[in-house]
Amino acid sequence: MSENADQAKHAKGSPLTPAGFAVRMVLALSAYALMLFLPAGTPAYVPGWIFLGVIVPLGTGAGIYLFRNHPALVERRMRYREKEGQQRVIIAAMTVVYVGGIVLCGLDYRWGWSQVPLSAVIAANVVVGLSYLGVCWVMVINEFAGRTIEVEEDQTVVDTGPYAVVRHPMYSLVLVFTLALPVGLGSYWALALFAVAIPVALHFRMVNEEKVLLEELDGYDEYRKKVRWRVMPYLW
């Protein structure tokens, strides 16, 4: 692990340390709890607890695994500053929609707007967990899958695994995650918001991302011609 950790430590951005990584994990999970239970107005928000029961152990376990085995990838995922102006706008819009949707789920529970069966809540949270693990799997296959849109000096085109089926498998799984999440949190209203806003935002993000990749990543044009679909075979 020491060689990989040293690689991440000297990578672009802030040095990666176990303490800093742990703090970010705790802050992220705490933010989820606040966004859920404050709007719900009660700690008895059952869908919220089911979601946390899924995401906390998965997020912790996956985070520890990636930090120990793929520290350079984790460092890339912790970069938030986009170089592309259009991407900054898209990410800001997606953040507002995502946070607003989570808050809406809590408000929905408080005021009883949706009546989602417990079985649907549980099933949706299973999908949330599986799609989260899928995102981690995609990141392991493509360690250049950073949070920001940039091409690094030694980056190459990945065309194996899910990348042989669609060009943006991470976005495919993010879409599944964000559509299952509001049902898992018991809100049809948040589902309607996510179903409209998230695909639109992902579309614009992918269009801009592929423009950058075509200009800066050798072999991407050939890959794009070989793999036709962006996120869903025969559909998108």
Q: Residue 80: pLDDT band by 50, 70, 90 thresholds?
A: low
- Closest by CA to 201, choosing from 51, 103, 86, 29, is 86
Which residues are CB-neighbours of 236 under 8 A, at least 6 positions away?
A: 229, 230
Which residues are CB-neighbours of 100 under 8 A, at least 6 positions away?
A: 193
- Closest by CA to 74, choosing from 23, 136, 149, is 136
Which amino acid type is present at position 167?
R
Work out the burial of residue 218: count CB atoms within 10 Å of its CB; fewer than 13 is exposed, 13-18 middle, 19 or more buried. exposed
Structural domains present in the chain: 2-226 (1.20.120.1630)
pLDDT at 126 exceeding the cut of 90? yes
Q: Residue 15: pLDDT band by 50, 70, 90 thresholds?
A: low
pLDDT at 164 exceeding the cut of 60? yes
pLDDT at 165 exceeding the cut of 90? yes
Distance CA 31, CA 202 (A): 23
Q: What is the mean pLDDT of residues 180-203?
A: 97
Q: Residue 210: pLDDT band by 50, 70, 90 thresholds?
A: very high
Cα-based distances in Å from 190 to 33, 52, 78, 204, 221: 17, 18, 27, 21, 37
pTM, two decimal places: 0.87
Do residues 193 and 104 make contact, with C-beta atoms less than 8 angstroms apart?
Answer: yes
Q: Residue 16: pLDDT band by 50, 70, 90 thresholds?
A: low
- Percentage above 70 pLDDT, the chain: 92
Q: Residue 55: pLDDT band by 50, 70, 90 thresholds?
A: very high
Which residues are CB-neighbours of 118 under 8 A, at least 6 positions away?
A: 46
Q: Give φ, ψ of 71 to 5 degrees.
A: -65, -35
Q: What is the mean pLDDT of residues 171-185?
A: 97
Distance CA 50, CA 112 (A): 18
Work out the burial of residue 78: count CB atoms within 10 Å of its CB; fewer than 13 is exposed, 13-18 middle, 19 or more buried. middle
